[in-house]
Amino acid sequence: MRSVNIFDRAGEGDYWSLAAQLGAEELFFNRQNPNGLLDLAYYLCARGEPRDEKGWRALLWSARMAVLAGREKIKADDEHGGKVYLERLVPGLVKLLGKGLPAVERADAGRALSNLGDPRQEVMTCDPMQFCWVPAGPFRMGSDEKIDPFSQEDERPLHMVEIPAYAISMYPDYPCSIC
């Protein structure tokens, strides 16, 4: 698939997402062409802020390709401007998190950020980390065999459990386990 075609497909919604990912993996793993993959990734990452959903989705696809290639390989690509690309891509992904793409795609952007170097201090360090308060209350746990005939024996019966109040990280993929 030519790069112009793949950019146009980004405008058709997430329908082409899997095809774009499989094409990137074909280039990288089967054809062993990491430079071709990077050329495509660089092409999909606009020089300015994307103006529409198509541009934001192309940026996300570019990030997925960058994760395949790896941050270190991109940083070492002086010939094609890998460092400049990362300087566009990473801030673009941070902005994408607040844009109008569906939640699944925004979550993919967050995962890509975690692989490419998330610059947000509230995600990467303990002190400024943001937490969400979850109040105490009842929680329905388990399954009812009449409602879910495929439920397992150890999931039954459906019952109420009282959960104490707690705080949870706003960013659940937080990589640090020592805080």
Asked if residue 95 has pLDDT above 70, the reply is yes
Q: What percent of the chain is modeled with pLDDT above 70?
A: 93
Residues 127, 113: Cα–Cα separation, whole Å: 20
Helix (H, G, I), strand (E, B) or coil at 172: coil
- What confidence tens digit (pLDDT) does each residue in 42-58 have? 999 989 999 999 999 99
Summarize pLDDT for 138-165 with one digit per residue, the tens: 999 999 988 899 999 999 999 999 999 9
Q: What pLDDT does residue 14 have?
A: 86
How would DSSP label each residue in 95-160?
HHTTSSS-HHHHHHHHHHHHHH----HHHHSSTT--EEEE--EEEEES--TTT-TT--GGG-S-EE
pTM for the model stands at: 0.76
Asked if residue 126 has pLDDT above 50, the reply is yes
The tokens for 41 are 């990734």
- pLDDT, tens only, 5-36: 899 999 998 889 999 999 999 999 999 999 99
Mean pLDDT of the chain: 90
